[in-house]
Structure 1
Amino acid sequence: MAADEIRRGSDYQLRLREFPVGAQMLFVAFGALVLVPLLTGLNPNVALFCAGLGTLLYQVLTKGRIPIFLGSSFAFIAPIMFCVKTYGVPATMGALAVVGAVYALAALVIRLRGVEILLRLLPTIVTGPVIMVIGLILAPVGVAMAMGRTGDGAAVLYPEKTAMLVSFFSLAVTVTVAIYGRGMLRLLPILSGIGAGYLLSLILGIVDFSAVAAAPWFAVPSFVGPAFSLDAMIVIVPVAIAPIIEHFGGILAIGQVTGRNYLENPGVDRSLLGDGVATALAGCLGGPPLTTYAEVTGAVALTKIYNPALMTWAALTAVCLAFVGKLGALLQSIPTPVMGGIMLLLFGAIMVVGLNSLVREGADLMEPRNMVIVALIIVLGMGRMTFSLGGVHLEGIGLAGVAGVVLNLVLPLPRRKTDTD
């Protein structure tokens, strides 16, 4: 197939000569993909394997029509960190597997009733503040790590002055590349920041290579099976509200890039089902939940090559790299301040995404109904309010998400809107 034919069409054709372009797509996603497991204490090799296999499953379920790569979801960082510490990794994985089932259930609802029913249940006035809470609740973790401490701030890992130098240098490079980068470089701000911070850490002598030297070149990823805990599910599952809505945005974005309506063909229900199956698989293997990657969509727009088979090459490359033992050890040798510097921007950016969704919607936050919903979601989430009834326990983000959905359903619409219905 000639290059212009690949650019015009989006029919699936797997050709060996397109492997370098496909592998490049993984390179674009790599920084964000491995950042989530590094922050949450999961295994980066498992995350690579799950992203690769999950993308392949997604392609099968969407009939190989959408040029999308699935990577680690940032939306679940806070609840994963909490659940890993409180309930352990297996219980956290079980809850994430259930999140995949929730995606599949939402896909079924969309197939039977259309997208509109989900948009009525989960409008921007609910999802926007929930996304904001996800970013804000993580802010203390980023600050503690940037200052050379553990995520909870309980222990000092590096001298504060050294840590601050490394973290702010990593942050400065990330911001510089994001704002001034050109071409493919602009799609790699996180990877650039991590690389620059790691290099400075090497110069300062705070990188420990002992684990890298001891790791084998070939190693089966350290998979972790799920255990199902209702408490962990109640914390994590409500967070699925925001990624479900974000999924529509991801599909619309890639459709605008390629000039095709993927909401109709193969259908957003198939796409969300593919995301759900991939996320459930990741939960069963010990990986983070998956989502469509805007970075890769940006790379598709830049290269103007729309063949979905490129994502097959990216996925196969991810699966192969997952078995390189030294790669995982090298990633885990990245000093905490490097990750902390990246997180200062990343967690703030998550909050801004939620805020921007309210701005784009044109929501009047002084209108009493909107004020009540937004105010209670943010205060309940940031205040880490807890609620228990029988065997049900909600707190933090989970309680905020459930409260937002309930308030949206029970509070009457403003009179000016009901009069025109």
Structure 2
Amino acid sequence: MNPTDYDFRVKDAVLGAQFLFVAFGALVLMPILTGLDVNVALFTAGIGTLIFQICTRKKVVPIFLASSFAFIAPIAFSVKEWGISATMGGLVFAGLFYVALSFLVRLKGEEFLHKLLPPVVVGPVIITIGLILSPSAVGMAMGKDASYSQELSIIIAMITLISTIIVIMFGKGIFKLIPIICGVSVGYGVSLLAGIIDFSPVASASWLALPNFKTPTFELNAILYMIPVAIAPTIEHIGNIIAIGNVTKHDYLKEPGLKNTLLGDGLATSVAAFFGGPPNTTYSEVTGAVRITKSFNPAIMTWTAFTAIILAFVGKLGAFIATVPACVIGGIMLLLFGIIASVGMETLIKNQVDVNNPKNIIIISLILVFAIGGMMFDFGFASFSGIGLGALIGVILNFVLPDIKIDEKDKIL
């Protein structure tokens, strides 16, 4: 039997739980940052992974789906602007955007997707996702609205940040895959010593409890704001599918095909939003763990999904995670948002986007300014702003602006 074929075995349950441990830090950090329920995020990560496996049943991909960091800033803004229920409605349609792309790929092939979303658009969109919430990261690290002193908050945030950097730089084996968990653990330990953690919510929480599910409502402004945000994670999805293919030596872009992996990711995101959970994405952390353990059997991820669903009903788990101080999260965010922005720059550099081409420099400039500057277009029936507006401007300009070849002497930069 091919080592990447689906083979469901009970003895793989422990290995599946191990992969959840690898994904756990990023999985729960996203709902913490956006005010969503951690237990719901666990539940929807498990359900989303199972949906993805059903959609890729012709050749199941050994990968786990969970909370997408690309949506942190948009969700935070949308919750503030329209509330959680309307935000979930927007995320339902963001997932359907994936689904629509999967059908376009099915009809027109993968090249159409690359034409619609070239690196010159995707790169700056990812940069804005990383930078737009940087003030909130600084605010949390500095103890804004905290009951303890600003000095203590900054010290704990810096210890958390430095610990995470050390693990990223020098960690070996499994520790290389869980720098966020390591950094948060160190910061949490220092917070315990400082006496700033309140365990009373954990004591009062039940062991077994239903996650705090939310139902979506559908408001046009929230929907139109959220749909373009899905552009960046779409490219992230393609990269992760290629990465897991390199690990297992199988071309998943051909079998089951990008049309089916995008469909699975989109449906997983929409279904997650119907429960009040964060949008899903394929996790590169788990791909790294698959490389180390050489656990290519996709059924192991089924056990990972089952473990996430079971843990979602442990009430004390969510209550305990909620005790992580804001300064610890702020310390992680200082690095995390910068890394996301760096991925956007890497996209431009890796694809050799020519910034001396007037078309490219115009697209990049306007995406950055419109998104980060907070520009808003109000059309009466709906408004566009932030990352969504920047992404939309980029897509439109890419189609309408002509490519102009310039001589060496006429270069802009």
- Fold conserved between structures, TM > 0.5: yes
AA matched with 2:72: I
Aligned to 1:327: 317
* Alignment match of 2:78 (pick from 76, 83, 91): 83
Identity of aligned residues (%): 51
The 5 A counterparts of 1:268-283 are 268-283=258-273
Q: TM-score, normalised by structure 2?
A: 0.97
AA matched with 1:122: L
Give the distance between the partners of 2:372 and 2:32, measured in 1 at CA.
24
Give the C-alpha shift of residue 157 in structure 1: 3.9
Give the C-alpha shift of residue 414 in structure 1: 2.2
Give the distance between the partners of 2:25 and 2:148, measured in 1 at CA.
23
Gaps of 5+ in 2: 408-413
Give the distance between the partners of 1:99 and 1:235, measured in 2 at CA.
9
Q: 1:158 to 1:232 in 2, by over 3 A?
A: farther
The 5 A counterparts of 1:53-68 are 53-63=47-57, 65-68=60-63
Contact 2:357 2:405 in 1 (8 A): no
Give the C-alpha shift of residue 137 in structure 1: 0.5
Aligned to 1:51: 45
Aligned to 1:93: 88
Give the distance between the partners of 1:342 and 1:366, measured in 2 at CA.
35
Match status 1:27 vs 2:21: yes
Match status 1:364 vs 2:354: yes
Give the distance between the partners of 1:177 and 1:187, measured in 2 at CA.
9
**Which secondary structure state, in structure 1, belongs to the residue aligned with residue 160 of structure 2?**
helix
Match status 1:147 vs 2:142: yes
After superposition, give the CA deviation of every residue in 1:379-402 in whole Å (9 maximum; x if it has no partner): 111101011123120111111010
Match status 1:70 vs 2:60: no
* Alignment match of 1:298 (pick from 274, 288, 297): 288
Aligned to 2:10: 16
Match status 1:129 vs 2:124: yes
Aligned to 1:152: none
Give the C-alpha shift of residue 66 in structure 1: 0.5
Give the C-alpha shift of residue 100 in structure 1: 1.0
Aligned to 2:194: 204
Aligned to 1:111: 106
AA matched with 1:62: T
After superposition, give the CA deviation of every residue in 1:254-310 in whole Å (9 maximum; x if it has no partner): 000000011111111111100011100111000000000000000001111200011
**Which secondary structure state, in structure 2, belongs to the residue aligned with residue 357 of structure 1?**
helix
Give the distance between the partners of 1:325 and 1:91, measured in 2 at CA.
26
Give the distance between the partners of 1:91 and 1:176, measured in 2 at CA.
40
Give the distance between the partners of 2:194 and 2:207, measured in 1 at CA.
27
Contact 2:46 2:305 in 1 (8 A): yes
Give the distance between the partners of 1:350 and 1:366, measured in 2 at CA.
24
Match status 1:39 vs 2:33: yes
After superposition, give the CA deviation of every residue in 1:101-155 in whole Å (9 maximum; x if it has no partner): 1111100000010011111011000000000001111110100000011xxxxx3
Give the distance between the partners of 1:253 and 1:325, measured in 2 at CA.
35
AA matched with 1:193: G
Gaps of 5+ in 1: 150-154
- Which runs of 4 or more aligned residues in structure 1 lie more than 2 Å from their structure 2 counterparts after TM superposition? 155-158, 414-417
AA matched with 1:183: G
Give the distance between the partners of 1:157 and 1:385, measured in 2 at CA.
34
Match status 1:192 vs 2:182: yes
Task: Name the stretch that deviates more: 41-50 or 194-203.
Answer: 194-203
The 5 A counterparts of 1:370-385 are 370-385=360-375
**Which secondary structure state, in structure 2, belongs to the residue aligned with residue 394 of structure 1?**
strand
Give the C-alpha shift of residue 185 in structure 1: 0.7
Give the C-alpha shift of residue 86 in structure 1: 1.4
AA matched with 1:54: G
Aligned to 1:214: 204
Give the distance between the partners of 1:232 and 1:166, measured in 2 at CA.
36
Give the C-alpha shift of residue 416 in structure 1: 7.2
AA matched with 1:34: V
**Which secondary structure state, in structure 2, belongs to the residue aligned with residue 364 of structure 1?**
coil
Give the C-alpha shift of residue 156 in structure 1: 4.1
